[in-house]
Amino acid sequence: MRYGMVIDLNRCIGCHACSIACKIENATPPGVFWSRVFQVEEGKYPDVKRSYIPRLCMQCDDPACIKVCSTRATYKDPLGLVRIDESKCIGCKACILACPYGARSLNEGGDYFSTGAPWGEIEESHEVGTVSKCTFCSHLIGKGPEPSCVAACPTGARHFGDIDDPESEVRQLIKGRFGFQFHPEFNLDPSVYYLPPKGSILGVVFYTLESKERKE
């Protein structure tokens, strides 16, 4: 079993529902977003197209962040997910520099909400001076709900499941629609795959379509 996510770039409309849902579900600190959506413009006027690229922790099978962590705060849990033990993290930022996907953030503190705000009762759950990142909402796995970003996507652009299972929806999407990994040249084997948008050159300019599934 290996949990993974497939993101359909043809369906993403850049609404940021995933980013907000993630922030609410995980109560991330001010300025810290575990899920982001970037915009890319292609073409030349008047034939210009804007595309959206969601980004999160890629949950690599061979993560660079684990290799550089001097205190072993970053580790893989029994589910194979890359996690951070805040009690061991010293905030040295080595893992932030090592991650080529910009998925990690340092919690520098700050108030969550102003006094009297509707969400004012949310309590601090992340240690100041430590690093945090997406966990695929590991606290929800096995309890029924999908990761918050998947559940919140209004266009169904995100899919979650076992990418090792050849019969799973995510594996079928990867194989059937030429799913590709972000920067496969780093040999980190990310667990997040993207489905190329129709009529876009994103896969040519920024990524490669030579995923493991295509090679098979």
Domain boundaries, the chain: 3-215
Question: pTM of the entire structure?
Answer: 0.85
Other beta carbons less than 10 A from residue 80's beta carbon: 14
Q: Which residues contact 210 (CB under 8 A, 6 or more apart)?
A: 180, 184
Three-class DSSP category at 163: coil
Output the CA–CA distances (angstroms, integers) from residue 198 to 181, 201, 216, in the order listed: 17, 9, 23
The predicted-structure confidence for 111-166, as pLDDT tens digits, reads as follows: 665 444 444 444 456 889 999 999 999 989 878 679 999 999 999 999 999 999 99
Give the helix/strand (H/E) hosting 215.
helix 212-215
Phi, psi of 49 (to 5 degrees): -130, 140
User: At the topology level of CATH, where does 3-215 sit?
Assistant: Alpha-Beta Plaits (3.30.70)
The predicted-structure confidence for 3-14, as pLDDT tens digits, reads as follows: 999 999 999 999
Spatial separation of the C-alpha atoms in residues 191 and 22, rounded to whole Å: 18
DSSP 8-state code for residue 36: E
Give the helix/strand (H/E) hosting 59.
none
Closest CA to 192 of 163, 156, 153: 163
DSSP 8-state code for residue 171: H
